[in-house]
Amino acid sequence: MKRTSLIDSARIAAGGLKDFASGLATPTVRLGVTGLARAGKTVFITALVHALLNQTRLPLFDAQAQGRISRAYLEPQPDDDLPRFAYEDHLAALTAEDRRWPESTRRISQLRLTLDYTPQGFIARNFGRDRVHIDIVDYPGEWLLDLPLLGLSYQEWSAETLASSRVSPRLALARDWHSLLAALDPMKPADEQQAVKAAELFTSYLARGRGTDVSLSALPPGRFLMPGDLAGSPLLTFAPLDVTADASFPRGSLGALMARRYDSYVAKVVKPFFFGHFARLDRQIILVDALTALNAGADAMRDLQKALADVLAAFRQGANSWASALVGRRIDRIVFAAAKADLIHHTSHDRLEAILGLIVKDAAARAEYSGADIDIAALAAIRATREATLRQKGEDLPCIVGIPQRGETIGTETFDGETEAAIFPGDLPANPEEALRGGLEGALRFVKFRPPLTAGRSFPHIRLDRTLEFLLGDRFR
């Protein structure tokens, strides 16, 4: 992001002072949870809260494993302008007789989880605080992709977006939009119908890019694919034009109209999210559906790599101190989590972490240089499968076993949603660089499974406890 203006710095400081004052009575951790499309944000939050509320056995989350958390309970969220995360509704969906995954995140929401605990040291036990608020902020990953727009003019954004759309695999997806662009003159008088048509075709191009056959990730602006109550608004009625990064538009021209609406989008949509919520986070987990990108091929993997690098550049990351609490806190711990690790055998979990580590290598290095701590984990907040070994043609195959959702297919077989199946998902490459070179297209076999049958018990998971320890463990010492 380019140099922050004095006004923007003041807004960050104001937010920092507000959070500092509210945390004087009880310390608060603001945990941001996001992820790109289909990464499982809602499931992660529901599983995290359920595990803490129900004292689930979490061996690697020290405070819980040692029995030092005496009570966990939900309280009203502190920000009255944010909807409450619908924890009870999502839990009901996962545990109902027809077990189903909850609806995806479509707006920002918040939930406050309060934990009473016994500190470790003698001084802390006798003079320290023994309660902490965890304010979980859930927001769509598409909004995260908007943050780089804070540092780009309309002309710069247009030039970058056009350049990327002229390279495979985007080129084939953008054919209709490109055809319209060829007939538009940015310097001629604005025509509202041309602007509407351009926005429609540009949005269709973005939607095709999100399809599972290509699984692209860098698809801003985020509200074009998730408009909510902005649908039909002039704030979403703009699109890139074929212009240079330093172009200048005559007053009243199509280019001037598009630039004004882009600037309004940044000012009225992106900035309020950044300063009101994102810039106030202490910890962040970014859930990544790397498996779908792997299955789509090298282009999808490289696009995922670019998307994560772009959004990390917009993070306020680094070590915190008493001073940063007054002028605006920074994100000092970040987890990159390769979600849906239950779709592969545990022998591939470390390989999945290595692949994600390669994707975020440069971005993670910058974060660590600034003083932030980084962790990379293969994660399944709720595990829908178990493991088994099948012998086929004299070879042992490490399989996963679960109930595929109705309508899922592998080859000519279509699953009925009731019958358990053993599936060999394929092996991830031992060398993570192979994932960026391609060659895995179609080699992996992934299906969507129904949630596990818990009968009121805890949800099985993969590395949820390790992730909680990294994100929150230091707050219970």
| Residue pLDDT, tens place only, 228-267 | 778 889 999 999 999 999 999 999 999 999 999 999 999 9
pLDDT recorded at residue 234: 92
Q: For residue 398, is it within any domain? A: no
Q: 114 and 160, same structural domain?
A: no
Residue 208: in which H helix or E strand, if any? helix 192-209
- What are the counts of helices (DSSP H) followed by strands (DSSP E) for the chain? 20, 12
Single residue among 268, 286, 306 that ends a domain in this structure: 268
Which amino acid, one-letter code, is at 190? A
Kindly report the number of other CB atoms within 10 A of residue 126's CB atom.
Answer: 8
Single residue among 246, 268, 290 that ends a domain in this structure: 268
The 8-class DSSP code of residue 287 comes to E
pLDDT tier, 24 (very low <50, low <70, confident <90, very high otherwise)? very low
139 in Cβ contact with 212 (< 8 Å): no
Beta strand spans in 310-380 (E): 333-338, 373-378
Single residue among 230, 247, 268 that ends a domain in this structure: 268
408 in Cβ contact with 376 (< 8 Å): no
Q: 169 and 134, same structural domain?
A: no
Q: For residue 426, is it within any domain? A: no
Rounded percentage of the chain residues whose pLDDT exceeds 70: 88
Q: 135 and 168, same structural domain?
A: no
Kindly report the number of other CB atoms within 10 A of residue 270's CB atom.
Answer: 22
Residue 333 phi, psi (nearest 5): -140, 130
Q: 103 and 17, same structural domain?
A: yes
**Token pair belonging to 267:** 């000012």
Q: For residue 421, is it within any domain? A: no
pLDDT tier, 440 (very low <50, low <70, confident <90, very high otherwise)? low
**Token pair belonging to 40:** 């499982």
**Token pair belonging to 397:** 């195959």
Q: For residue 415, is it within any domain? A: no
Please classify residue 16 by burial: count the beta carbons closer than 10 Å to its beta carbon, then call 0-12 exposed, 13-18 middle and 19+ buried.
buried
Contacts of 145 (CB under 8 A, 6+ apart): 36, 217, 218, 219, 220, 221, 222, 307, 310, 311
H helical segments located in 174-297: 175-181, 192-209, 222-225, 254-265, 271-276, 290-296
How many domains does the structure of the chain reveal?
2
Q: 368 and 299, same structural domain?
A: yes
* pTM of the predicted protein model: 0.87
- Give the orientation angle of helix 349-359 with respect to helix 361-369, to 10 degrees: 70
pLDDT tier, 121 (very low <50, low <70, confident <90, very high otherwise)? low
**Token pair belonging to 417:** 């949603």
pLDDT tier, 205 (very low <50, low <70, confident <90, very high otherwise)? very high
Q: 170 and 262, same structural domain?
A: yes
pLDDT recorded at residue 377: 96
**Closest by Cα among 363, 1, 269 to 152:** 1
pLDDT recorded at residue 375: 93
Kindly report the number of other CB atoms within 10 A of residue 214's CB atom.
Answer: 18
pLDDT recorded at residue 325: 54
Q: 173 and 129, same structural domain?
A: no
Kindly report the number of other CB atoms within 10 A of residue 350's CB atom.
Answer: 12
Q: 159 and 96, same structural domain?
A: no
Q: Looking at the predicted structure, is the pLDDT value of residue 137 above 60?
A: yes
> For 15-33, what is the mean pLDDT?
69
State the residue range of the domain holding 234: 151-268
What CATH number did the domain enclosing 86 receive? 3.40.50.300
Instruction: Please give the Cα distance from 207 to 204 (Å, whole number).
Output: 5
Residue 239 phi, psi (nearest 5): -160, 160
pLDDT tier, 395 (very low <50, low <70, confident <90, very high otherwise)? confident
Q: For residue 445, is it within any domain? A: no
- 373-378, strands of its sheet edge to edge: 69-75, 109-117, 131-138, 28-35, 283-288, 333-338, 373-378
Q: Are strands 373-378 and 28-35 parallel, antiparallel or unpaired?
A: unpaired
Q: 232 and 284, same structural domain?
A: no
> For 385-412, what is the mean pLDDT?
90
Q: For residue 406, is it within any domain? A: no
Burial 225-237 (b: 16+ CB within 10 A, else e): bbeeeeeebbbbb
Q: For residue 402, is it within any domain? A: no
Average pLDDT, the chain: 87
- Give DSSP secondary structure letters for 126-162: HHS--EEEEEEEE--HHHHTTGGGGG--HHHHHHHHH
Q: 189 and 329, same structural domain?
A: no
pLDDT recorded at residue 441: 65
Residue 196: in which H helix or E strand, if any? helix 192-209
Q: For residue 423, is it within any domain? A: no
Q: 192 and 89, same structural domain?
A: no
The full length of the chain comes to 477
Q: Looking at the predicted structure, is the pLDDT value of residue 1 above 60?
A: no
Q: 185 and 75, same structural domain?
A: no
